Amino acid sequence: MNIGDVADLSGLPAKTIRYYEDIGLVEPLRSSNGYRSFRQSDVHKLAFLGRARALGFTIEDCRSLLKLYADTDRASAEVKQIAEEHLDRIDSKIAELTEMRATLSHLVDACAGDHRPDCPILADLAMEHKAGSISKASG
Amino acid sequence: MNIGDVADLSGLPAKTIRYYEDIGLVEPLRSSNGYRSFRQSDVHKLAFLGRARALGFTIEDCRSLLKLYADTDRASAEVKQIAEEHLDRIDSKIAELTEMRATLSHLVDACAGDHRPDCPILADLAMEHKAGSISKASG
DNA sequence: GTTGACCTTCCAGTAACTGGAGGCCCTATC
DNA sequence: GATAGGGCCTCCAGTTACTGGAAGGTCAAC
């Protein structure tokens, strides 16, 4: 199977598949013409990678997960640990974004958004922030 | 004022401040010894940048915001637009992460996390995903 | 034999820094 | 005057996970 077919099957761009080979996540064979030749197992691996990446696992996580997947003697605890750490990272990120969102949406609500120059958003960014941040936004 | 003092005042690492100069966000003067010499206005700008970055604005957003901040003839609508677009990006990101979180937490809950090899997490990553994804996770 | 699609490699760029090497400047102390 | 220590300088490379593009080989069809 050539890279184009695998790209179609796995949903990953050919570029990405080549990149995954570069960093050692897959090792397709080579045809006599130099083209990569993917086996079913390669396609399977790539689909696995695509799903793991879609869940936000890092490439290094993926590498570990693939290793565990290949190891039928693995302990599920190892897999679970990776997933839980990732879950924690996601939670932190969500918390961070949610805070940003709250502040920002206050500011946006407070801004008239008209032709006049007065702008609570800029005012907030410019101010010294001695005490509580958005102060008068009553929302 | 030397870069170290400004770093302390603004909370930004000296490296970051140099970087911001590189990309033209601030233009400190230079002392005769070659050291950067920051004015109050530079410090103010850097603090502004620090807060904008903390709200997740991109560097290019920051550049635009600084420009608007400096322009007393600005329309607040321009500022608001930047903020709203950013808010949308944040919302998309939160939605994406929340979805990941949901799937992942189902999988984590379904995984025994013991010495045995059976693992719903790996099973899910490996499977063909013909229909609905997590299927039997009753949570 | 020539299109045109597909494949190859290699290089550069993305976002926003961060780390480190190699080296100058300044102050204090002996 | 020499030295130790910090702080400052520039420049280069690395981070994450790709993505775009150039230059060129391969293959099937017409």
**pLDDT tens string B40-70:** 999 999 999 999 999 999 999 999 999 999 9
Q: Is the CB of A33 under 7 A from strand D?
A: yes
Report, as an integer, the average pLDDT of A28-48. 96
What is the CATH number that goes with domain A1-74? 1.10.1660.10
- Which residues have C-beta within 8 Å of that of residue B88, sequence separation ≥ 6? none
Report, as an integer, the average pLDDT of A113-127. 96
Task: Give the model confidence (pLDDT) of A58-86 as tens digits.
Answer: 999 999 999 999 999 999 999 999 999 99
Q: What is the pLDDT of residue A130?
A: 56
Report, as an integer, the average pLDDT of B80-86. 97
| Nearest nucleotide by C1' position to the A12 CA atom | D18
Is residue A31 within 8 Å of A41, Cβ to Cβ?
Answer: no
CATH 1.10.1660.10 occupies which residues in chain B? 1-56
Q: What is the pLDDT of residue A134?
A: 41
What is the CATH number that goes with domain B1-56? 1.10.1660.10
Is residue B84 very low, low, confident or very high in pLDDT (cuts 50, 70, 90)? very high
Q: What is the pLDDT of residue A128?
A: 76
Q: In this structure, what are the phi and psi dihedrals at residue A30, rounded to the nearest 5 degrees?
A: -125, 135
Q: What is the pLDDT of residue B26?
A: 97
Q: How many residues make up chain A in this entry?
A: 139
Contacts with A104 from chain B: Cβ below 8 Å: 55-56, 83, 86-87, 90
Task: Give the model confidence (pLDDT) of B7-34 as tens digits.
Answer: 999 999 999 999 999 999 999 999 999 9
